[in-house]
Chains A and B, each alone.
Chain A
Amino acid sequence: MLEAKHCVGCRQLNDPRYEQLEELIARYKSQKGALIPVLHEAQEIFGYLPEEVQRRVADGLDIPLSEVYGVATFYSLFSLKPRGKHKIGVCLGTACYVRGAGAILAELEKELDIKVNDTTPDGKFTLEVTRCIGACGLAPVMTIDEDVFGRLTPERIKDILARY
């Protein structure tokens, strides 16, 4: 027998987010090109796209799950893993890279004790790398959510993280 916490059906019954998902699918059902907007809003509801959500979307829009998964893995804005409360983006564009972005990234990995694309166990931070964000004059830079931090040195990382 399955333990209750492993039962997808029960989880969905007890989870109001699945009601929202059903409404969302119903809203888009008859529209062409519905998959990307549905995944987008589903990610807003769940914070990421767990497999049961992908299955529900596939069934609701009557498309194969492989296609849903293909689209979800194609766009970097979709995530299949739970994301942290705050998203850190370390710029690895050319200017940041030559000015030491590697050391910044290494410091973040050490400080948070996670690797790129992972989330801290407390769900607070997700660490990602980005291409050039256009703040080359401030290189090296990173973003945390909407905030931009420039002229970074590894020594500043601990203090910056403490603000969140």
Chain B
Amino acid sequence: MINLTIDGQPVSVPRGTTVLEAAKAIGLRIPTLCYMQGLNEIGACRLCLVEVKGMRGLQAACVLAASEGMEVYTNTPAVREARRINLELILSNHPQDCLVCERNRQCELQTLAEELGIREVRFSGEVSAYPLDCSSPSIVRDPSKCILCRRCVAVCHQVQSVGVLAPTARGFDTIVAPEAESSLNDVACVLCGQCIMVCPTGALREADNTEAVFAALSDPSKHVIVQTAPAIRVALGEEFGYEPGTIVTGKMVSALRRLGFDAVFDTDFAADLTIWEEANELVGRLQAGGTLPMITSCSPGWIKFIEHYYPDLLDHLSTCKSPHQMLGALAKSYYAEAIGVKPEDIVVVSIMPCTAKKFERTRPELVGEHGLADVDFVLTTRELARMIKQAGLDFGQLPDDSFDSPLGLSTGAAVIFGATGGVMEAALRTAYEWVSGETLGDIELTAVRGLENIKEAAVELPGTDITLRVAVAHGLANARKLLEAIRAGEADYHFIEIMACPGGCITGGGQPRPQDVNDMNELRLKRMRGIYQADKALPIRKSHENEAVKELYEKYLGDIGGEKAHQLLHTHYTARGKYPRQIKQS
């Protein structure tokens, strides 16, 4: 252990600990903007400056290793002045439009300016001004608001192994951007939105569709239905002061009704339905010798990733549409017929923890037989929170309400779709019983839960000679490892679940941002606990026991994996390649 003092307080830390982390251990929060532990330790923002006895000049605490006998001072006049100057310099090249910025009151830069007591910016000069990049349906890049902290770059390269954002040019001209001044839509960006989750300012945000949804809601000729993904209910509360992981399903349904939606459905219904189709597809591939391992297809960031980077492996994907697309397709067929409304008068709004789903809903293959897109609008959890605030609803005071039938009934197996490993667990709960004909005793398959990078399990199916080998990856850098193994012929699995975002949908790119970007894993665990609590609280916890799904097949779809099911619930994929943009020849 290393012994040092920080502001006169003794502290002992393991060798290799930075002064910043040592300070944290004694409850001292040194301000940072660029720092992400283990991911972005680059000393760029210069806000974590500290004074160290015997060292010349001020030191960046995030990259300074604690050493024996070190005397650190974090709150001297020199430190305070230097931090303020550095922050003022950042602010001098930042649009001062906080009042109309999406991040108003939720902005790390703004918070730091307040905490450091900045009352004026003494520097003025040239200001970087770049055009907005609104090219993608998912993500808006606003480089004028970028402070060059490179947190998005770290996440895009290291966590997602996508790497479409990088610092370009030099000095004052530096801009974090895709190569060759391309827009996000022109490069192999998967639109996962993890960059949005770590951006300290308004430089990266979702494409906002709230106005369009308000407009649909006020159109009397439209029957507007809404569905909420599993992960929304354990995160939405954070926008209204609840602890992360608090289950707010009842209040969420109330809020949606008050907003004026004609029916409030649950994507969980379609998650259960997905399990029927996907488990059936898996069993089919096992029996008929189809392409294995089969890989899940509910994460549109993941789908775009494999289309760009591993198009040779597209056959491994399940052909199931993602659950909200299935629900959208059913809303404009089964449900429309049931209530006697023309499909073109139905508007489907999906509340998703995801920015990639905004892109997914625009895919031409996800248009139904009437020429109507399955889903008309996708809103992130953050956008829903904005709508609730704009409507003046006091979220905490709303009564609990429940989803509408029939597309609102679901099981515990569906809600766990929201966490990494959940789809796998749900599929196994069903596949086990379907294949073996026996009842699964302990339905909680803890081997596929949690935040380990790649999880593996083997499940013996009684009455058969099959031991089902499965793997689960979350975060695309982890997914890449499994894909490389498949390419090398070394992936001896039957079934793989992949979620683009680390932790799964609970911390998808459309979810409420973390209070502190360095507590992201803690946030994941809290929301994950909420998800598994919600599963436990439900009377039925296996998708194949969902009576509403059973009725759907009996009354409308016919056979599982049958013709109608294929037409409404399955899709296909497109090889996109690594460089979708053609080089401009001079």
**Chain A residues in contact with chain B, CB under 8 A?**
5-6, 8, 50-52, 54-55, 59, 63-70, 73-76, 82
Contacts and interface: CB of A to CB of B under 8 A. Distances in A.
Interface in B122-172: 157, 162-170
B579 interface: yes
Contacts of A54: 179
A93 to B, nearest CB: 17
Nearest to B586: A82
Contact of A74 (B170, B579, B585, B586): B170
B424 to A, nearest CB: 30
28 contacts: A5-B585, A6-B585, A51-B180, A52-B583, A54-B179, A55-B579, A64-B162, A64-B163, A64-B164, A64-B166, A65-B579, A66-B163, A66-B164, A66-B177, A67-B163, A68-B179, A69-B166, A69-B179, A69-B180, A70-B179, A73-B168, A73-B169, A73-B170, A74-B167, A74-B168, A74-B169, A74-B170, A75-B170
B530 interface: no
B403 to A, nearest CB: 43
Given A70-B166, A74-B169, A74-B170, A65 B585 contact: no
Contact of B583 (A5, A51, A67): A51
B510 interface: no
Interface string B372-407: 000000000000000000000000000000000000
For this complex, into which size category does the number of interface residues on chain B fall? Answer: 20 to 34
Contacts of B177: 66
B178 interface: yes
Contacts, number: 52
Contact of A66 (B165, B169, B170, B586): B165
A56 to B, nearest CB: 11
Contacts of A59: 578
A66 B578 CA distance: 12
Contacts of A70: 166-168, 179
Nearest to A64: B163
Nearest to A70: B166
Interface of B: 157, 162-170, 177-180, 187, 578-579, 583-586
B581 to A, nearest CB: 9
A130 B163 CA distance: 33
B191 to A, nearest CB: 16
A69 B179 CA distance: 6
A50 B578 CA distance: 18
Contacts of B168: 66, 69-70, 73-74
A67 B166 contact: yes
Task: Give the 4 A-B CB pairs with smallest separation, nearest first.
Answer: A64-B163, A69-B179, A66-B166, A70-B166
Contacts of A64: 157, 162-164, 166
Contacts of A73: 168-170
Contacts of B164: 64, 66
Nearest to A59: B578
Nearest to B170: A74
Given A50-B583, A67-B166, 6 more contacts: A8-B583, A51-B584, A65-B579, A66-B178, A70-B179, A82-B586
Question: Which of A8, A51, A59, A68 has the most chain B CB atoms closer than 10 A to its own CB?
Answer: A51
Contacts of A63: 163
Contacts of A66: 163-166, 168, 177-179, 187
A50 B164 CA distance: 18
A24 B184 CA distance: 31
Contacts of B163: 63-64, 66-67
Contacts of A75: 170
A6 B585 CA distance: 6
A75 B163 CA distance: 20
A65 B177 CA distance: 11
A5 to B, nearest CB: 7
Contacts of A65: 179, 187, 579
B348 to A, nearest CB: 35
A63 to B, nearest CB: 8
A76 B163 CA distance: 23
A65 B186 CA distance: 13
Contacts of B579: 55, 65
Contacts of B179: 54, 65-66, 68-70
Contacts of A69: 166, 168, 179-180
Question: Which of B164, B165, B578, B585 has the most chain A CB atoms closer than 10 A to its own CB?
Answer: B585
A40 B533 CA distance: 57
A73 B177 CA distance: 12
Contacts of A8: 583
Nearest to A75: B170
A69 B170 CA distance: 12
B575 to A, nearest CB: 17
Nearest to B584: A51
A78 B210 CA distance: 45
A63 B578 CA distance: 12
A74 B169 CA distance: 5
A38 B168 CA distance: 18
Nearest to B174: A74
